[in-house]
Structure 1
Amino acid sequence: MRDDTAPGPAEQTEGGGRRVVMLVDNAVEGDSRVQKAARSMADAGWRVTLLGQSPDHRPRRWRLGAAEVRLLPMSKQLNARRNQFRRPWLRRPLAHRPGGIADYRVAQAKAWRADLLARRVLEGRSLRLRRLAAQVMVRWTRLRRDQLERARAARKGLDGPVDRLWAWGVRRCMGHRAWRRLEPYLWDYELTFGPAVDALRPDLIHANDFRMIGVGARAVARARDRGRTVKLVWDAHEYLPGIKPRASHGRWLPAHVGHEREYARYADAVVTVSDSLAELLRREHRLPETPAVVLNAPGGEAPEDHDGPVPDLRALCGVTADTPLLVYSGAPAEQRGLRTVIEALPRLPDAHAAFVVLAPRGAYMKGLLARAAELGVAERVHALPYVPHWQVVDFLSGADVGLIPIHHWPNHELALITKFMEYAHARLPIVVSDVRTMADKVRETGQGEVFRAEDTDDFVRAVRATLAAPERYRAAYDTPGLLDAWTWQAQAQVLDTVYRHLLCAEVPGRTAAPTSPIGVN
């Protein structure tokens, strides 16, 4: 991670364009869409500052071309829930109150017992009743501490009858605003990013995804209260009601959906990643216009200080040019279907599988590799880290087949995801599960094979077909215009048009905004 504060190319556009602040709830470097958007908009003349979340307690700064990146240490003031500070009267009436008193009482009882033992030996006194009382006190305090720990464990799960009843009541009483009680940690994004946004005095705020729409909308409200006009662009990366919840309890999804619904209507323009998602968002939030579509397509230049060679995928896997190599690039999770790949390898005896993931040594990948060992295929499974986004296409081109084995979740049905277009530019035959949008595109173009999601037998069939006649599938990429539409350069023009329309001003060297661009409210 860089911590470079030296001036960079952004100095060249200082004062030449309107100020844009982009917001994202991650550390930037793993988010290719956000990186490409920041750099391309800065290159188009906008004065871009991208605010992200520091992975530790240190603020960090660097440049992406002409854009400035700042990572802010995250506030944790509201990360805890209020019930963590209350005594669990209903669940565990004998428990100590929270705050450290439980350990203090246990230690105090042990100290009393040790004191009595020493006095009995040194002073020759029996102290029998006091010793008995001390033993009772130790056991009593341990019992109460155990009750507190059990209560904490139950509260952490947030899925007990009392929790469910409370959450139901909050949702009925507060509606969309219930996120304030269900997931109060969302306020930590406000406490972290709000002051930084205000200090930058932006003309336009580009809020990425569902956590940042609230931060952006409130910043716009504060600016308006001070007599300034700020435009808000909401970049919806996914269909929130259709994703797999990122917490096991039942509060996470309704809270975040409510947060999104409360603030989405304040966006001056909405952009998203696919036509089908654009239509869903228009209906879901009653938008006056269909959002503009900005695909997360491959492209974008490497920073000036990153001109090293592209790693060799086959060399990293230790395989020869004639070894069948399957590649998966993206997030490692059960709903991504990676287990189907592992289960298929015993029936694909010559093939190796490379998983290019953010955390190749993370818990999920360790579990996957353990399963590969059980099946006797561990030597043919390779977990590799991400490469920078400008190297992805060349890196992946070393494989024979690109894999997208994702399961059926509503959000998985809606878009051509990033890896789909990366595989295409790498000219890889694609094996994709029968999720709607990508399966339809593969059938239309002939660039790969479709299999039934979570069906190992059908996956094996699809892989064997692509390995048997790869040039047949690669020929689809010769179709005029197919790959041209899947480039970041084309997508950046759409985003630039949205910006210019909202701010009603020409960027130096650019044409004036059209009167009614697609997707602008």
Structure 2
Amino acid sequence: MRLDADPAGQAPRARVVMLVDNGVEGDSRVQKAARSAADAGWDVTLLGCARIDEERSWQLGRARVRVLPMGGAPAGTPSGIRGLRHRLVIRGGLPLSMARLARRPIEHAQVRFWRVVQGDRAWRRLEPGLWGYERLLGPAIDELRPDLIHAHDFRMLGVGVRAAQRARADGRRVSLVWDAHEWLPGARPRRDNARWLPAHLAYVREYVPHADAVVTVSETLADLLVRDHALTERPTVLLNAPVTADERPADGGPGPDLRQLCGVDRRTPLLVYSGALAAQRGVDTVIAALPRLPGVHLALVVGDPAAAYVRELVAGAGRLGVADRVHLVPYVPHGQLVEFLSAADVGLIPIHHWPNHEIALITKFFEYSHARLPIVVSDVKTMAETVRATGQGEVFRARDTADLVRAVRAVLADPRRYQAAYEGPDSPLPGWTWEAQADRLDALYRRLLPALAGHADDDQETAEVNAR
């Protein structure tokens, strides 16, 4: 195992490389994991990737972030299918709808054939674009010579496993942690083809047995992973909970004000939805409810206000005559988000029924909770059960506009009734913090690297002394 001395003369630290298949900035779980591990004394480099022109790097607390450029167009479509699309559509052989139908039977035949021929190795033929992550990130991992690799989400699992295998072949012992962010069999395919899901399922099945430990986002998902992969050790659950310490702007001033950005005063009822927007998130049901909620405003805290689906929602609000009550608000740093959201009256989670929606307490659920907002959530299983048990909000039938109106009216009529769930000795909030999850992650790293845990202690103590 290789340890490098800190440039400031501090104790050497065990190297952790975290991997993620995105540009890092919009992924709060990954950011929190990297930052908290570095704060605990581990030498953390977070490697991401994005379609950018050149590498980007920055510090995230004591963790280093590097986002590597992915060149070219998205890969993954076998050349035979691309050729078929060209012949049937570009050359005018068939209308687009008929071409899609023709393409589908060929894709299903491909899946059946390669499964028979190669079993779980079939992803190499069905989703060859996965090799792009290997070619991009593999050399960077090898150069960093980690003691532990933490692979976030399903695409990074194989990249991390192969890097650990190369290190072991070179005589270095490297531990591999897989962080399962979602239940892949219940995920919505990222591309419209019949190969995507079976290819990625095969990819995960091939590499899960090589992980030294698995972590995931909920107890329900932990159960599913044990069942699907015959895990001998139950995954460690790290909830997508927020950091409770404030992260103030560098100038020491207050963070952004949600109501000010929306142009509404304290007396105006304000609903908030924070996070990614897509049809399955159910925000169209909220827009449809606004005409029956006179005087109520809606804040949409979104990463890209110019995205096509966001424009579609705004256009729908305009047709209903409520566009003046819908406000697009940009993201704020995740450390400021809880305080930012607390200015609203109700936190919304109107998501549709979908397997992954049923099993998780999602990030915004905890963010709303720490903002002490009453929550109005659709009747997806885990979150609905939690809200009913705690009394922190109301549950409505997914996609049912009238029932959403009922739930919002109930909360606005007596908000203190729901906020009381966050107070007193029975409050769930102490266990719903990232700090509590970070302790579990640190304990897992120490168990996997017992010989190096002391170095993390030494470095953390030195940093704390220097900070005083």
Work out whether the TM-score is over 0.5: yes
**Is 1:178 paired with 2:125?**
no
Q: Give the paired residue count.
A: 450
Q: What residue number does 1:195 align with?
A: 139
Q: Tell me how large the CA RMSD over aligned residues is.
A: 2.5
Contact 1:238 1:277 in 2 (8 A): yes
Write out aligned runs for 1:468-479 (5 A).
Answer: 468-479=413-424
Question: Relative to structure 2, which stretch is displaced further, 328-337 or 299-308?
Answer: 299-308
Whose Rg is larger? Answer: 1
Residue 156 of structure 1: CA displacement?
8.2
Query: Structure 2, unaligned stretches of length 5 or more?
Result: 1-5, 459-468
1:350-396 Cα distance to aligned partner (Å, 9 max, x none): 10111111212100011111111111111111122211100100110
**Is 1:283 paired with 2:227?**
yes
Question: Distance in 2 between the 1:156 and 1:266 partners?
Answer: 38
Q: What amino acid is the match of 1:478?
A: E
**Is 1:414 paired with 2:359?**
yes
Is the partner of 1:265 in helix, strand or coil? helix
Say which of 253, 259, 269 aligns to 2:203.
Answer: 259
Write out aligned runs for 1:83-162 (5 A).
Answer: 83=79, 88=84, 92=87, 146-147=90-91, 159-162=103-106
Q: What residue number does 1:243 align with?
A: 187
Contact 1:64 1:303 in 2 (8 A): no
Question: Distance in 1 between the 2:358 and 2:174 partners?
Answer: 34
Contact 1:84 1:152 in 2 (8 A): no
Question: Distance in 2 between the 1:244 and 1:200 partners?
Answer: 34
Question: Distance in 1 between the 2:295 and 2:14 partners?
Answer: 56
Say which of 57, 61, 77 aligns to 1:61.
Answer: 57
**Structure 1 residues 86 and 74: CA distance shift in structure 2, 3 A:** closer
Write out aligned runs for 1:109-508 (5 A).
Answer: 146-147=90-91, 159-299=103-243, 302=247, 305=250, 307=252, 309-480=254-425, 481-505=427-451, 506-508=453-455
Residue 164 of structure 1: CA displacement?
2.8
1:174-204 Cα distance to aligned partner (Å, 9 max, x none): 2222211111111100001000000000000
Is the partner of 1:507 in helix, strand or coil? helix
Contact 1:404 1:432 in 2 (8 A): yes
Question: Distance in 1 between the 2:195 and 2:287 partners?
Answer: 33
Question: Distance in 1 between the 2:432 and 2:409 partners?
Answer: 27
**Structure 1 residues 207 and 153: CA distance shift in structure 2, 3 A:** farther
Question: Distance in 1 between the 2:363 and 2:154 partners?
Answer: 19
Contact 2:246 2:336 in 1 (8 A): no
Q: What amino acid is the match of 2:448?
A: L
User: What TM-score, normalized to structure 2?
Assistant: 0.90
Is the partner of 1:25 in helix, strand or coil? coil
Question: Relative to structure 2, which stretch is displaced further, 422-431 or 47-56?
Answer: 47-56
Query: Structure 1, unaligned stretches of length 5 or more?
Result: 1-9, 96-144, 512-521
Say which of 16, 36, 39 aligns to 2:35.
Answer: 39
Residue 479 of structure 1: CA displacement?
3.4
**Structure 1 residues 188 and 504: CA distance shift in structure 2, 3 A:** same
Say which of 5, 18, 25 aligns to 2:21.
Answer: 25
Percent identical among aligned pairs is 59
Q: What amino acid is the match of 2:48?
A: G
1:249-302 Cα distance to aligned partner (Å, 9 max, x none): 221111111111111111101011111111111111111111001111110664
Q: Which runs of 4+ in 1 moved over 6 A?
A: 148-158
Is the partner of 1:20 in helix, strand or coil? strand
Contact 1:205 1:233 in 2 (8 A): yes
Q: What amino acid is the match of 2:195?
A: R
Question: Distance in 1 between the 2:390 and 2:141 partners?
Answer: 44
Question: Distance in 1 between the 2:74 and 2:415 partners?
Answer: 53
Question: Distance in 2 between the 1:306 and 1:261 partners?
Answer: 49
Contact 1:13 1:46 in 2 (8 A): no
Q: What amino acid is the match of 1:61?
A: S
**Structure 1 residues 509 and 411: CA distance shift in structure 2, 3 A:** closer
1:489-512 Cα distance to aligned partner (Å, 9 max, x none): 11100000000000112334749x
Question: Distance in 2 between the 1:408 and 1:298 partners?
Answer: 25
Q: What residue number does 1:48 align with?
A: 44
Question: Distance in 1 between the 2:357 and 2:328 partners?
Answer: 23
Q: What amino acid is the match of 1:348?
A: L
Question: Distance in 2 between the 1:91 and 1:64 partners?
Answer: 45
Contact 2:49 2:68 in 1 (8 A): yes
Residue 173 of structure 1: CA displacement?
2.6
Contact 1:154 1:160 in 2 (8 A): no
Contact 2:248 2:255 in 1 (8 A): no
Residue 244 of structure 1: CA displacement?
1.7
